[in-house]
Amino acid sequence: MQVVLSALQVILSVTLIFLILMHSGKDAGLSGAFGVGSSTGSVGGSLVERNLNRWTVGVAVAFAINAVVLLKV
């Protein structure tokens, strides 16, 4: 059980790092290289940006829950 949860934790951490790097920041970051988001100052952001935010939050929550479960096992 612990081996499976540890492997899942590694996968979640790599995925979370990738998703965070995809976010456009002040300098557009790596997301500009992959065409995510737009350089125009739209207020709501694009659909891709909103979905990227949702995926990042979801993976972060799964990462935190898995970390707590790993501590309890």
Establish if 58 belongs to a structural domain.
yes
SS (H, E, C) the chain: CHHHHHHHHHHHHHHHHHHHHHCCCCCCHHHHCCCCCCCCCCCCCCHHHHHHHHHHHHHHHHHHHHHHHHHHC
| Predicted confidence band of residue 37 (pLDDT cuts 50, 70, 90) | low
Task: Render pLDDT for 50-73 as a digit per residue (tens, 0 to 9).
Answer: 999 999 999 999 999 999 999 998
Establish if 39 belongs to a structural domain.
no
Establish if 6 belongs to a structural domain.
yes
Establish if 14 belongs to a structural domain.
yes
Establish if 60 belongs to a structural domain.
yes
Establish if 38 belongs to a structural domain.
no
Establish if 65 belongs to a structural domain.
yes
Cβ contacts of 7 within 8 Å, gap of 6 or more: none
Q: What predicted TM-score, i.e. pTM, was given to this entire model?
A: 0.73
Domain containing residue 67: 2-24+44-72
For the chain, the domain total comes to 1
pLDDT at 3 over 60: yes
